[in-house]
Chains A and B, each alone.
Chain A
Amino acid sequence: MANWFFSILLKSTFLLLTLVSGLVWSSVVVDASEETLTEEKPVIEPEVYRREIDESKIDSENFEATVFAGLMSVEDFGVNNIIGARLAFHVSEGFFFEAGVGQTTTTKTSYERLSGSVELLTNEQRRLSYYNLSVGYNLLPGEAFLTRKLAFNTAFYLIGGIGSTTFAGDDRYTINYGFGYRFLATDWLAVHADVRNHVFDMELLGEKRSTNNIEMSLGLSIFF
């Protein structure tokens, strides 16, 4: 009887010990695995977006492409429609470099019209085209107030440069200078109003002389 009782007690104690030790072991294992987990992932993250900022990834808008149309007065050859394009690179808030092209077809001189039959130039020679490389300076940056709550950034700039004009069959060294007004509708879209004088020599009507050819234009530009 006592033996039977002791064997039951022994067996149950053993079972209990196994159970307890199993539980303890499993809890230890769970703890250990939890510990390894917590080691990999700290409870408090200092910053989710932990990263450096690459300067070159910041979108820069220093180039400006313009298309323009207007009127160009070509000395002796009438006032005619002109179209063209410009590409500017903004170096600082003040200075910018600009490359431009333009084209117009000139009309007859008063002399040709009055005389009736005289033709000074062929149709091909009447076409005037130019290119230029210029430097501009935003002299008067400012704001234009359309309404009480609506303001736009603007700039009045001076510009000048060198280039070549192809007219009356020849390439002519040309100096250009003038001024313009830039109206920024948004950060990347602007409207331009420009007045530019193109000075080049002409020898077509006798002696060689310097001519002033004034261009007025309206342009639309995008920054990229």
Chain B
Amino acid sequence: MFYQGILLFCSLLLLGFAQAQDDIPRVQVADPYLEMQTGAGSGYPVYHVVERGEWVQILKRKTEWFKVRTERGKEGWVRREQMARTLTPAGAPLQIHDVAEGDFARRRWEMGISSGDFSGATIISAWTDYSFTHNLSLELSASHILGSYSSSIMGNVSLLAHPFPEWRFSPYFALGTGVIQTTPKTALVQTRDRMNNTSHVGLGLRVYLTKRFIMRFDYKNLVIFSSQNENQEISVWQIGFSAFY
């Protein structure tokens, strides 16, 4: 019974493997030869070459490297530039999209982290941004503010306007609201946590770096609506990095 189970499992595995084999995309080498390296990095040695006209299967991808298998079963890593010069079964060049500056203006989702100054305290933020149009986007952000006397958690929703989305140095304006929860440090006299609403106006600059990456400079004028007589007004400066899709 046990062995039958193993046999059944193995045959199922083989069946699954055989089916998976059919789905593996194949490309034909069009260059004089295709270089296969031992690892997914430019320093790894070339240990096998595939000649023009031969077919290879594309198994997987790591960053800009593709793992391929030859008809004789040899496996190795090929750089993106070489893969882009192979042919699909239809005879067309393999389409591998190289993210360029043009994609920056057409981005939908952006995710990033930033850090900076929150009127003397240090702020760490993570945000995600969704573009409705080329000029308008909605941003959600979460921040951790670490000060000498207290630490705070802040959540914000902002509407961003990008007047020049196609520029490499693209400025933006922000308007938003949020909440902030402040916990005083234990070294001080014990006071209880405070939860306050906030609103902010801001401006900033996105700089397209390379591939999918953006650098961002951000300034916010934040108003914390406190239960005391005076509202707190705070300048928040941040610098961050993000990736877009």
Residues A62 and B63 in contact, CB atoms below 8 Å apart: yes
Rounded to whole Å, the gap between the CB of B39 and the closest CB of chain A is: 4
Rounded to whole Å, the gap between the CB of B69 and the closest CB of chain A is: 12
Find the residue from B43, B59, B66 having the highest chain A CB count within 10 A.
B43
Q: Tell me if B18 counts as interface (CB < 8 A to partner A).
A: no
Interface residues of B in 73-98 (CB under 8 A from A): 88-92, 94-97
Rounded to whole Å, the gap between the CB of A76 and the closest CB of chain B is: 16
Residues B38 and A93 in contact, CB atoms below 8 Å apart: no
Contact A133/B113 with A90-B63, A141-B41 known, Cβ cut-off 8 Å: yes
Number of A residues with CB within 8 Å of any CB on chain B = 38
Contact A93/B42 with A170-B187, A173-B146 known, Cβ cut-off 8 Å: yes
Residues A60 and B40 in contact, CB atoms below 8 Å apart: no
Find the residue from A62, A163, A187 having the highest chain B CB count within 10 A.
A187
CA distance A164 to B147 in the complex (A): 11
Residues A49 and B26 in contact, CB atoms below 8 Å apart: yes
Which residue of A60, A141, A173 contacts B60 across the interface (Cβ within 8 Å)?
A60
CA distance A187 to B146 in the complex (A): 40
Contact A163/B124 with A51-B88, A52-B92, A55-B97 known, Cβ cut-off 8 Å: yes
Residues A170 and B151 in contact, CB atoms below 8 Å apart: yes
Add 12 more A-B contacts to A62-B63, A187-B62 (CB < 8 A): A49-B89, A51-B90, A62-B62, A138-B41, A141-B44, A153-B41, A163-B124, A164-B144, A164-B151, A170-B185, A171-B146, A173-B124
The 5 A-B residue pairs whose C-beta atoms are closest, nearest first, are A169-B186, A171-B151, A173-B146, A153-B39, A60-B61
